[in-house]
Amino acid sequence: MTSTRDSFPIGTRKSALAIAQTVQVQSALQRLNPDKSFPLLQMTTTGDNNQIQPLSSIGTTAVFTRELENALEREECHLLVHSLKDVPTQIKSGFVIGAMMKREEPNDVMVMRQGEVKALKDFGPGDVVGTSSVRRASQIRRLCPGVQVMDVRGNVNTRLAKLDAADSPYTCLLLAAAGLQRLNLEGRITSKLPPDVMLHAVGQGSIGIECRADDAETLELIKPLDHLPTRLRCEAERSVMRILEGGCSVPIGVWTEFDSSDAEDVGTLRLKAMVSSLDGSEIAVSEASAAVNGSVELAIELGKTVASQLLAQGAETILAKVLQDRNQTLVPTGTGEENTIKGWEV
């Protein structure tokens, strides 16, 4: 093991959301370890540089983590802070998610264009919903038949600026509650989407802290930031995804909760999941619950159970279609990106 260190540089992306999350981790670590320092090492990733090409063609979600992992490997930093939902389910060998921090609200929310007043139930033809997430798009199309879904790329602030612009085509955006909360933009939330309306992304709302698997000192430092109920829920969610995606990203929505109303009771976990075709025309949904009693292995088993139920219910055909459709041009008109292949995110 490396000798005891005084400084633990934290690797992060440069977006406002990434920095807000990293500062949260930095403060927590500083409070627990007043004699050590946690400087920020900010990096630009392939995913940040490329806002036009589809994420699926420049790699997988690893486009947001690869450069960071290289720096971690070279020991330029000792930990990385990510939105857990941006962390691929198969992380590179030699790295681990040493902590999954207590989850904020995992829900997606609707953000209306400034001055626009309309309830979700009244959405229909003529309304334009901005999202680049196939998961969000397929669910909103089912809920509000006739709505137009249009791509919107960029970080949270960029998207809000596009929504409010004078020439904005959008009626509203769909975003993660957690991102807005962390940016102090909670006031922009028009309505929260409950699980019967929209299943959220795997890991959404939790911050994942990655480090080298053999770095016992850093693992020990971040251990107190791991929140067991969050860890169990996210391990179950990631397990469904790991089985269904088989190396490529697919639109999966999930919802997890413990049966008990006691927030620290990690006995029985319930997991609901759906997988959708890229155009949203086909969806498979399944759910199960299991006594996990605090065990990560049992949470992962629950994820496998739900994944096999989904496969038995036709998810296999949907996944084959996803693979086939991935390279197709799906860009809606009016985005200025008609000549590119539609990018999509989770």
Ligand X SMILES: NCc1[nH]cc(CCC(=O)O)c1CC(=O)O
Burial class (CB in 10 A: 0-12, 13-18, 19+), 75: exposed
Between 181 and 295, whose beta carbon lies closer to ligand X?
181
Q: Which of 35, 48, 86, 151 is catalytic?
A: 86
Residue 216 contacts by C-beta under 8 Å, 6 or more apart in sequence?
1
Nearest-angstrom CA–CA distance, 295 and 30:
29
Residue 234 touching ligand X (CB under 6 A): no
Q: How far is the CB of 331 from ligand X (least distance, A)?
A: 19
Q: Are 174 and 140 in contact (CB under 8 A)?
A: yes
Q: How far is the CB of 285 from ligand X (least distance, A)?
A: 21
Residue 345 touching ligand X (CB under 6 A): yes
Q: Which helix (H) or strand (E) holds 269?
A: strand 268-276
Exactly one of 9, 47, 130, 205 binds ligand X (CB under 6 A); that residue is 205
The piece of 81-89, 160-168, 219-227, 261-269 that touches ligand X (CB under 6 A) is 81-89
Within residues 156-175, the interface with ligand X by CB under 6 A covers 156, 175
Question: Is 86 among the residues known to form the active site?
Answer: yes
Exactly one of 178, 202, 241, 319 binds ligand X (CB under 6 A); that residue is 178
Residue 210 touching ligand X (CB under 6 A): no
- The mark string for 86-125 relative to ligand X (x by CB under 6 A, - otherwise) is x---------------------------------------
Task: Give the Cβ contact number of residue 48 at 10 Å.
Answer: 17
Which residue is nearest to ligand X, using beta carbons? 179
CA nearest neighbour of 18 among 158, 161, 160, 183: 183
Residue 57 contacts by C-beta under 8 Å, 6 or more apart in sequence?
327, 341
DSSP symbol at 344: -
- Residues labelled catalytic: 86
Give me the residues that bind ligand X (CB under 6 A), please.
83, 85-86, 156, 175-176, 178-179, 204-205, 345
